[in-house]
Amino acid sequence: MKNRHAILLLAILAVSALSFTAGAYATPFMSWNTVPNPTPNAIGFRQSSYVCMYGRITDWLTTPTATHVMGTIEAQSRTTIGSARAIQGFAATAIWTNNTVRPLADIRARENFTYTFYAARLIKGNYSALDPTSSISWFMNGTWNVWSITTNFTIVTNTNGNILSITTTRSIVALATDAIGNITVASGWDSFTLAIDGVPSLTGPVIVHIIASRTFNPFMLGTESTSTTVTSADLNSIANAYGSMPGWGNYDLRMDYCLHYQIDICDLSTAAANLNTT
């Protein structure tokens, strides 16, 4: 309890110093205010819908057979319905591992270990289409980067097994750079496919999706949330996961706003700087 309060206090003190840094590294979820309003055309204003999809990655379609993996994907876009369907706001990121023994949100191990995971990030959205009447409910095309990331954990404990320190070294290998990729959600919103050029496709079930006429809370930790206001509960969730990394601690991609695969002061101060704002 004391540690969580100390972390929250640290976030409050760091907001003024780090809010600019956090914003600089924040994902596109943080920049909806820069999204332009729909522009009129010959038949009037185009209808615009905000789409949010959160899914569980279960299969990596490697050859000759698919590989079972564990991971998550989250994507948002503002899709214009009409003759022009260019994305007006976008964000999408995915993380997965083929280590079926140690999930991404595993316990904080007290022994040294090496962990490999993969990450994909949408860096430019090109096109988004929403059509619940067709065989594809939602489609988003864009440019992606994909990496393989391996982390070596060195953990020091005392005689009672309490963790005294943790040191990590990380190596990153680019699997795809500026590659064209698509998110395709099947009719009924029950499954998705993420297909990126040069990388085997990823598939899995859609856990939740939301279609609305408004933007979503970029700090939304509960996928069932409809609130667009950052609350103290959001900060508490980050504080409880503070220090977590993929493979060590209760890491959650939805808390990693700075997208550097560790829940730390950057993520906490980013949320704290937006506390009680919409």
Mean pLDDT on 100-122: 94
The C-alpha atoms of residue 42 and residue 256 are separated, in whole angstroms, by 42
pLDDT in tens, 246-255: 999 999 888 8
Partners of residue 202 on adjacent β-strands? 60, 194
Q: Examine residue 116 and state whether it is found in any structural domain, yes or no.
A: yes
CB–CB of 39/82 below 8 Å? no
Q: What is the pLDDT of residue 145?
A: 97
Using alpha carbons only, give the angle 135, 140, 142 rounded to the nearest 5 degrees.
145
Structural domain range at position 81: 2-273
**Residue 13 counted as domain residue:** yes
Q: What is the pLDDT of residues 39-79, one digit of tens each?
A: 444 333 345 678 889 999 999 998 777 899 999 999 988 77
Give domain status of residue 223, yes or no. yes
Any domain includes 60: yes
Q: What pTM does this model have? A: 0.81
First-to-final CA distance of the chain: 28
Q: Is residue 247 part of a domain?
A: yes
pLDDT of residue 93: 93
The span from the CA of 74 to the CA of 206, in Å, is 10
pLDDT in tens, 163-221: 999 999 999 999 999 999 999 999 999 999 999 999 999 999 999 888 877 666 655 54
Residue 113, phi-psi category: left (phi > 0), alpha (psi -120 to 50), beta (remainder)? beta
**Stronger pLDDT, 15 or 181, i.e. the higher one:** 181
Task: Determine which of 68-82, 117-131, 222-236 has the lowest per-residue pLDDT on average.
Answer: 222-236
Please give the residue that has the higher pLDDT: either 223 or 193. 193
Among 41-50, 92-101, 259-268, name the most confident range.
Answer: 92-101
Q: Is position 41 within any domain?
A: yes
**Neighbour-count burial of 98, counting CB atoms closer than 10 A to its CB (0-12 exposed, 13-18 middle, 19+ buried):** middle
pLDDT score recorded for residue 21 = 36
Which pLDDT does position 80 carry in this prediction? Answer: 62
Measured distance CA(253)–CA(249) in Å, rounded: 12
Report which of 278, 196, 268 is spatially closest to residue 26, judged by C-alpha positions.
Answer: 268
Q: CA-to-CA distance for 203 and 206, rounded, in angstroms?
A: 9
The answer to whether position 278 is within a domain reads no
pLDDT of residue 2 exceeding 70: no
Domain count, the chain: 1
Please report the pLDDT score of residue 36 as a whole number.
Answer: 39
Residue 250 placed within a domain? yes
Contact 51, 138 (CB under 8 A): yes
